[in-house]
Amino acid sequence: MPWLEIHINTNREDAPLIEDQLMEVGALSVTLQDNADQPIFEPALGETPLWSETRVTGLFEAEVDTSTIDSQLQLPTKANFKWHIVEDKDWEREWMQHYNPIQCGDNFWICPSWIAPPNPEAVNLLLDPGLAFGTGTHPTTFLCLQWLATQALTDKDIIDYGCGSGILGIGAILLGAKQVLGVDIDPQALLATQDNAQRNAIAAERFPVVFPDKCSNSPVDVMVANILAGPLVELAPTLTPLVKPGGKLCLSGILATQAEAVQAAYAPFFDFDPVAKKEEWVRLTATKHA
């Protein structure tokens, strides 16, 4: 069954009002999008920023009377709109068609679980991310995987803080780590991590997953945390004691402009390597003082 969408071009001030009107006239969902290529990477705590030019999209059933909707909406003078037919698709399969294997090291690949690995002899991480963050396509995840592929992880204990899909922890185990503890605030992430670990034939006891309040206090050899700059700064007092003296720290989810602030939060206890950058994102790695 097809659907109908109304696209309304407006500004940040009027977007919330238009959103409310669309819900009142029966929209099944409302989406706010950037309409002028103006990225917002990380809002400040408690903020919900919008773009100076915002597109508000309302989704309706195909049988809706568009002329009635038009008459009910009281749009600002500068707002303009247009109706579109949306083809009904299997959106999960549509997304799957565009997710291909990713090489993160000389002998290390991330492979969608529904595609045969390009190199069966390599270390192949089979992934179905589900609703959790972490496919390897985002620069922050790729930078962490690339770093893990260069480390001596054999028999190491690791914490994957903010584990998402479990991609970093699973990669570490496949590269030789003894055990990884996955930590996340999102129940969906913990489920996705467990599913992906099982898909890669990793026993549950090698990759247990917990909420932050259940995280072990025992220091580990390697800490990886691919979150965002703000939470990483706030978590510095929590993460620092969880790394053994001489242990490794890998932080990502950080914009290049935020690198100094994150480094400053950990610098009293860690010696940092040169910053690794991909597009506008960076990865910070460091060794804890002995």
Question: pLDDT tens-digit profile of 133-152?
Answer: 556 678 898 899 999 999 99
Q: Binding residue per annotation — 184?
A: yes
Q: String of b and e for 267-283 (b: at least 16 CB within 10 Å)?
A: eebbebeeebeeeebbb
Q: What angle do CA 195, 196, 198 make, to 5 degrees?
A: 65
CATH superfamily of 3-88: RRM (RNA recognition motif) domain (3.30.70.330)
Distance CA 36, CA 168 (A): 34
Distance CA 17, CA 9 (A): 13
pLDDT bucket at 3, cuts 50 / 70 / 90: confident
Q: Binding residue per annotation — 162?
A: yes
Question: pLDDT tens-digit profile of 53-99?
Answer: 889 999 998 888 999 999 999 988 778 899 988 866 554 555 555 56
Residue 42 is predicted with a pLDDT of: 54
- State the pTM of this model: 0.68
**Residue 242 per-residue DSSP state:** G
Residue with tokens 């496919």: 135
Q: Report domain extents, the chain.
A: 3-88, 136-288
Residue 99 is predicted with a pLDDT of: 67
Q: Binding residue per annotation — 58?
A: no
Q: What class has domain 136-288?
A: alpha beta
Closest CA to 177 of 214, 213, 143, 152: 152
Please tell me which residue, 53 or 232, carries the higher pLDDT value.
Answer: 232
Distance CA 54, CA 15 (A): 7
